Amino acid sequence: MGAWNAGDTRYFQAWYRDPVAGGATFNLSDGYEIVFQPDVGGGVYDGMALVPGGGFQMGRHVGGGGGDELPVHTVSLDAFYVDACEVTIARYATYLNNALARGEVVVGGDSVVYQAGGGVVALCDTNTSSSWSHLAWDGTAFGALAGWEEHPMNRVSWYGACAFANGRGRDEGLPPCYDELTWACDFTALGYRLPTEAEWEYAARGGEHTPSFMYPWGDGIDGSNANYQSSGDPNESGSPETTPVGYYDGNQVPPGVDMANGYGLYDVSGNVWEWCWDWYDGSYYSNSPTDNPTGPQTGTYRVFRGGSWSGGTSNLRSAERAYDVPPYRTSYVGFRVLAVRP
């Protein structure tokens, strides 16, 4: 740190542990201003990787694909943190138990988990409502079925992904990004949210922008790279399904190298598709804003990206776009969340 002279007006942030939201500002007589912000600890931003701000050419650069992946267009994004791995069943169960204690969720007679206050918005399935779900509910608490703790959460709706983001923020003393009546997003809030489609693709490419590859690692693919249909991982024995998050760390089967991308993210290609914030519009790339685009204002479908265990290799391309209605719950769609730290 350089010399600071009395009379200068300087600004810096100091983090301190305080369970009370908000901060305290102390003005010193010599002209310095110190702004204290709360660091609530207990896992804030735990397991997240920093994605630096910058620009890239979004869309399909090589190979075949849908017309909605074009035109390739310039996007510039601010820096953000994003989960290094997809949200696991164990972590989602922890959120649900905390949300249950706060009165935010209920389990219906069909064993589906709903938003409290009417039971209209379905968040996710339990293993009783769907055999493809490995989230357990014993009538009192949620948990992961034995052996499935570190597998990605699936059978979760877009609403269930957004509700998790808000709940994780509440657990860690951070403000919610979503209004849970309208599901509008406050992009200025310092809590957790789903990545926009642009943020997702930028993070998934891992900094490989010159040139941009078909997949985060290059233009070829085999079973050592990711979990997809017929990839040959042991989880395909009997009934093909997910692998534990971060499975492709250099110890995977078939043998391979650590598949974390350039930003340290795992499973951005394969395992489960990942919900994004955006409404889907097949022609959006033709009129997308350059700076921090957040997608169309309205729509019928929400986007998910990245491919899954149930599809072929073309679905794992970084430019591939898919979508369905927000209540959609299936065995091959999950999510990860993002945060913007001050």
Is residue 179 pLDDT above 50, yes or no? yes
Give the pLDDT score at 236.
77
Q: Which residues of 251-268 are buried (b: 16+ CB within 10 A; e: fewer)?
A: ebeeebeebbbebbbbbb
Exposed/middle/buried for 7, CB within 10 Å: 0-12, 13-18, 19+?
exposed
Residue with tokens 């992009």: 187
Place 49 in a pLDDT band, splitting at 50, 70 and 90: very high
Tell me how far CA of residue 286 lies from CA of 8, 59, 320, in angstroms: 48, 11, 16
pTM listed for this prediction:
0.87
Q: Is 50 helix (H, G, I), strand (E, B) or coil?
A: strand
Residue 271: count of CB within 10 angstroms of its CB: 33
Per domain, the residue ranges of the chain are 1-39, 46-342
Place 341 in a pLDDT band, splitting at 50, 70 and 90: confident
Residue with tokens 């896992």: 43
User: Mean pLDDT across the chain, nearest whole number?
Assistant: 88
Shortest CA distance to 172 belongs to which of 23, 19, 342?
19
Place 235 in a pLDDT band, splitting at 50, 70 and 90: confident
Instruction: List, for residues 319-331, the tens digit of each pLDDT value.
Output: 999 999 999 999 9
Q: Work out the end-to-end distance of the chain between its first and last CA atoms, rounded to an integer number of angstroms.
A: 20
Cα separation, 229 vs 308, in Å, equals: 8
Crossing angle of helices 158-171 and 89-101, in 10° steps, is 70
Is residue 25 pLDDT above 60, yes or no? no
Tell me how far CA of residue 330 lies from CA of 30, 301, 302, 325, in angstroms: 60, 15, 14, 12
Residue type, 22: G
Q: Residues in the chain, how many?
A: 342
Give the pLDDT score at 238.
63
Find all residues with CB under 8 Å of 71, minimum gap 6, and list them. 59, 285, 286
Instruction: List, for residues 265-314, the tens digit of each pLDDT value.
Output: 999 999 999 999 999 999 999 999 999 999 999 999 999 999 999 999 99
Residue with tokens 């490989």: 208
Sheet containing 333-334: give its strands across. 322-324, 302-305, 273-279, 333-334
Q: Say if residues 155 and 135 touch (Cβ distance below 8 Å).
A: yes
Give the pLDDT score at 119.
59
Cα separation, 337 vs 30, in Å, equals: 42
Average the pLDDT over 247-272 and give the result: 97
Is residue 32 pLDDT above 80, yes or no? no
211: preceding bond cis by omega (within 30 degrees):
yes
Average the pLDDT over 3-11 and give the result: 34
In DSSP terms, 137 is beta-bridged to 142
**Strands 54-58 and 73-77: what pairing?**
antiparallel
Instruction: List, for residues 143-167, the tens digit of each pLDDT value.
Output: 999 999 999 999 999 999 999 999 9
Question: Could you write out the DSSP letters of every residue in 155-197?
Answer: SB-HHHHHHHHHHHHHHTT---SB-TTT--B-TT-SSEEPPPH
Q: Which helix (H) or strand (E) holds 77?
A: strand 73-77
Residue with tokens 């970084």: 318
Question: Which one-letter DSSP state was computed for residue 258?
Answer: B
Instruction: List, for residues 91-149, the tens digit of each pLDDT value.
Output: 999 999 999 999 999 999 999 999 998 657 999 999 999 999 999 999 999 999 999 99
Instruction: List, for residues 196-221, the tens digit of each pLDDT value.
Output: 999 999 999 999 988 999 999 999 99
Is residue 28 pLDDT above 90, yes or no? no
Whether domain 46-342 has CATH 3.90.1580.10:
yes
Give the pLDDT score at 45.
78
Cα separation, 35 vs 289, in Å, equals: 34
Quote the Cα angle for 190-185-267, to 5°: 75
